Amino acid sequence: MASHFALGLGIGTQNNTGDWLEVYYPQPLLNPTAEVLSALSALGEDYSGGNAALTPTPSQLQALAAAWQDAGIGELAALAGECQQSKRTVVLTVLENDEAPKSVPEVYLKLHLLSHRLVQPHGCVLDGMFGVLANVAWTNEGAIDIKELPQRQLAARLAGRTLSVDCVDKFPKMTDYVVPAGVRIADTARVRLGAYIGEGTTIMHEGFVNFNAGTLGTSMIEGRISAGVVIGEGSDLGGGCSTMGTLSGGGNIVISVGKESLIGANAGIGIPLGDRCTVESGLYITAGAKVAVLDDEGKVVKQVKARDLAGTNDLLFRRNSSTGALECLTNKTAIALNEALHANN
């Protein structure tokens, strides 16, 4: 069988009409091997190629488990065996190509690939996913269709229980599906499934990480990482700071922060930052903001728009306390994160 982009065997939730609400994939696979794919012949005519979300029967799961076991793929075989006893619908999602997802199981497989660190942000196609996903009530009893929520709340009360609705959103929190190794997350509700959290990252209570965004290594996050934003190794986002995503205002510039950079408390960026850059506290840099570039003697060399400095290394952005002008000069101090503070083992 030809090479495929991804494969996942999971357990999903459907509403009363059979529409998918979410899927949990314990062991998503990127670029599954030929041995993994050859076992799909056990599905017979149910799978003939392409991208598909299948609901294998217990007998098909048994055949898959046997085929994977014979091929020496023990963990996947064990998962297929366990899924035979599932009280919820089992789904096998096969992605031959990395293209715009057309179903909820396809979206969730790609979000799992991100949070399992199998692909980095912007490493897979997510175009059109908002039109695929439905708004869901995320509760202490799992995902519930919004239209079915009142009846479920009533049923819980009649049974002497309280149904707690944690949020109403298209995305669940990441840690209900995967907890990456070597991270600290103070408030798990502030990290969405599809976030890429690099090993060594600490996310404090006010930190937020959206889907298809995150950190590539050790970082301190006390601010907002918006959708699509990537933070480099050793960088620090101060309390209440913000990074401009691509979802609001029709923006199409991909914002990123390089290595060993600092965005101060309550600051923000609308341009990509290079390595070893600093933005002083309270300063928000938009792409069109006028910036006075200073030389080593503090004299203005030129006036540029902030977008012209995008991606440049070793810059310090500050506000002139006398004139209020936005200034940029060479950053002579490197940001060093506290090793003891970031020990996440």
Q: Are 188 and 175 in contact (CB under 8 A)?
A: yes
* CA distances to 15, 36, 44, 76, 125 from 3, in Å: 33, 10, 19, 18, 17
Active site residue 82: no
Kindly state the tokens that stand for 36. 């993994």
Q: Which of 170, 132, 124 is nearest to 28 (CA)?
A: 124
CB 329 within 8 A of CB 319: no
Q: Closest Cα to residue 272, out of 230, 233, 220? A: 230
**CA quadruple 235, 240, 241, 242: dihedral sign:** positive
How far apart are alpha carbons 245 and 227 in whole angstroms? 5
Q: What are the φ/ψ torsions at residue 308 (nearest 5 degrees)?
A: -70, -15
- Residue 136 one-letter amino acid: V
* Nearest in space to 65 (alpha carbons), one of 85, 95, 94, 89: 85
The distance from CA 200 to its chain's CA centroid, rounded to whole angstroms, is 16
Residue 30: count other Cβ atoms within 10 Å of its Cβ. 18
Residues forming a β-bridge with 290: 305
From the list 222, 233, 297, 339, the catalytic residue is: 222
DSSP summary character for residue 191: B
Distance CA 151, CA 129 (A): 28
Q: Which residues are catalytic?
A: 222
